Amino acid sequence: MTRESRWCSELQESLFTKSREGVSGYKLPSWTGAPVTVNLPEGSLRQNECDLPSISEPEVMRHFTALSTLNHHIERGMYPLGSCTMKYNPRMNERVAALPGFSSLHPEQDVEDIQGMLEALYILQDMLCEITGFSDCCLQPAAGAHGEFLGMQVIRAFHLANGNDNRDEVLIPDSAHGTNPASVVVTGMKPVTIKSGADGRIDLEVLRAACNENTAGIMITNPSTLGLFEKDIVEISKIIHEAGGRLYMDGANMNAIMGKSRPADMGFDVIHLNLHKTFSTPHGGGGPGSGPICVTEELAPFLPAPIIVEEDGQFELTSYQEQRPSVHPYFGNVGICIRALTYILRCGGNGLTRVSEIAVLNANYIKAELSGVLDIDHSEDCLHEFVATGKQWKEKFGVRTLDVAKRLLDYGMHAPTVYFPLIVDEALMIEPTETESLESLKLFIAAIKSIREEAENNPELLHNAPVSTPVGRMDETKAARQPDLSWMGPCNCG
């Protein structure tokens, strides 16, 4: 049986095909009470028997457990997806977020009834401000890119309020995440790309030349997607502020610098944080995220309502005087916020610092062990991640970075981020995170070394990888554009 047909049979073996007459997974007690009168409209009443499968509880459990393990996930193996910080999510976060005092609330309840929730969110805002050095926080954005969108709106609103309608250009280094220019465009401003210097950082002369009376600000990811700290950040901040602009920090890489340096102290005016990366809340698979922004006092009046304030131990809702339209109902994805708060409280200040130290150590360990195996353009020590290039493997063995990434799946690991950032040819962006043990780092290093040998001796194997997963190499564009996600009956792939 081919791999594809095994996979298809797994799916064909849906709960419906496993159904056997007379088998049941539940037993309802017989009704002994009074007849129930329900006033449902005639058209809403079911006319026929519901065609549900007859199957036992263990079979249901086995079916869904089997399906859940077909995809790679962090509980199954390492997930060194650079820039995405796929760290392990402690189960404690889930337990706290599921407490009925959090999970059973309705956002329209009276503020008197949700004091505990408001206090938790208030503390989270306070902690995020402490970690970043800013004065105010808005928890509404539901993702990093959403935070960028709000942060750009805040900067735009600030310039408009100061009569600077012309300030609509936002400088963005060429190493930036694709969401940065996109967020600028959706707020009606114009992204202006600035070319990085030879060391992968912002070139101060290029920056000075790009500033003018239309400059609204700059968006910088620090540390950058190359895992490099912008060591001239204070000078960069001076140049932008003198030009009348404001500094936005894409804080998605905060995992590298928590407890070490604070973006507000570097001269930034706004930051977004990816709670679903740095603070261990679940990430990926299209689930809910959270991308709060923190801002300086100067920009706080441009944040959307509701704002949580505390007076004599009571939590109230208010708005800033310039109140922007909200970007998400109520307080954003509060379940994710509660998970992040749980994580921060469990780690404590010293614990968060340690998280960053180990994240950086792990990345540098892999980088050092793989030097000479993979080529790395920027040879200095990295922060939480680094970018290698598969250019030489392609030239020597005809093996592309995509082949290496796919082969890693056969070794039980997720691939690093590939072909990003765009400024590195055949890029492999590796971010192990702090939750990987020395043993799993060694396994990853051994896997890359072994794939290097395969590339030399059996490149065809890599071209056909993965060979052990339920599905082989997919047309990724088609998978994203025409996803086939629901069981529609037996399929025809033999």
Ligand X SMILES: Cc1ncc(COP(=O)(O)O)c(C=O)c1O
Q: Minimum distance from CB of 141 to ligand X (Å)? A: 9
For residues 172 and 193, the answer to whether their CB atoms sit within 8 Å is yes
Q: Minimum distance from CB of 296 to ligand X (Å)? A: 21
What is the Rg, in whole angstroms, of the alpha carbon atoms belonging to the chain?
A: 26
Q: Which of 491, 307, 473 is nearest to 400 (CA)?
A: 473
The residue type found at 144 is G
Q: Minimum distance from CB of 191 to ligand X (Å)? A: 14
Rounded to whole angstroms, the Cα distance separating 417 from 86 reads 11
Q: Which two tokens stand for residue 156?
A: 């735009």
Q: Minimum distance from CB of 145 to ligand X (Å)? A: 3
For residues 281 and 342, which CB has a smaller minimum distance to ligand X in the complex? Answer: 281
Q: Minimum distance from CB of 220 to ligand X (Å)? A: 10
For residues 430 and 363, the answer to whether their CB atoms sit within 8 Å is yes
Rounded to whole angstroms, the Cα distance separating 401 from 423 reads 15
**Alpha helix (H) ranges present in 69-174?**
91-97, 100-103, 115-132, 144-161
Rounded to whole angstroms, the Cα distance separating 155 from 161 reads 10
Q: Which of 155, 380, 117, 331 is nearest to 246 (CA)?
A: 155
Give the dihedral of Cα atoms 314, 315, 316, 321; nearest 10 deg: 110
Q: Minimum distance from CB of 416 to ligand X (Å)? A: 13
Sequence-ordered list of residues with C-beta below 8 angstroms from that of 477, at least 6 positions apart, any chain: none
For residues 331 and 397, which CB has a smaller minimum distance to ligand X in the complex? Answer: 331
Three-class DSSP category at 248 = strand
Token pair 């309608």 in the structure block, residue: 165
For residues 221 and 342, which CB has a smaller minimum distance to ligand X in the complex? Answer: 221
The residue type found at 261 is S
In Å, the largest CA–CA distance within the chain is 83
Q: Minimum distance from CB of 158 to ligand X (Å)? A: 22
Token pair 């706080």 in the structure block, residue: 300
For residues 142 and 207, which CB has a smaller minimum distance to ligand X in the complex? Answer: 142
Q: Minimum distance from CB of 327 to ligand X (Å)? A: 13
For residues 80 and 301, which CB has a smaller minimum distance to ligand X in the complex? Answer: 80
Q: Minimum distance from CB of 32 to ligand X (Å)? A: 52
Q: Minimum distance from CB of 251 to ligand X (Å)? A: 8
For residues 149 and 444, which CB has a smaller minimum distance to ligand X in the complex? Answer: 149
Which residue(s) pair with 295 in the sheet? 136, 270
For residues 181 and 301, which CB has a smaller minimum distance to ligand X in the complex? Answer: 181
The residue type found at 47 is Q
Rounded to whole angstroms, the Cα distance separating 311 from 11 reads 56
For residues 250 and 426, which CB has a smaller minimum distance to ligand X in the complex? Answer: 250
Q: Minimum distance from CB of 201 to ligand X (Å)? A: 15
Q: Which two tokens stand for residue 310?
A: 């505390």
Q: Which two tokens stand for residue 458?
A: 């059996």
To the nearest 10 degrees (0 to 180), the angle between helices 144-161 and 179-186 is 40
Number of CB atoms found within 10 A of residue 353's CB: 15
For residues 182 and 189, the answer to whether their CB atoms sit within 8 Å is no
Position with the least CB separation from ligand X: 144
For residues 147 and 301, which CB has a smaller minimum distance to ligand X in the complex? Answer: 147
Q: Which of 295, 274, 272, 279 is nearest to 338 (CA)?
A: 279
Q: Minimum distance from CB of 147 to ligand X (Å)? A: 8
For residues 83 and 140, which CB has a smaller minimum distance to ligand X in the complex? Answer: 83
- Phi then psi dihedrals of residue 375, to 5 deg: -90, 140
Q: Which two tokens stand for residue 452?
A: 């290097």
Q: Minimum distance from CB of 84 to ligand X (Å)? A: 5
For residues 221 and 362, which CB has a smaller minimum distance to ligand X in the complex? Answer: 221
For residues 84 and 295, which CB has a smaller minimum distance to ligand X in the complex? Answer: 84
For residues 118 and 142, which CB has a smaller minimum distance to ligand X in the complex? Answer: 142
Rounded to whole angstroms, the Cα distance separating 459 from 482 reads 31
Q: Which residues bind ligand X (CB under 6 A)?
A: 83-84, 143-145, 177, 179, 221, 225, 250, 252-253, 274, 289, 291
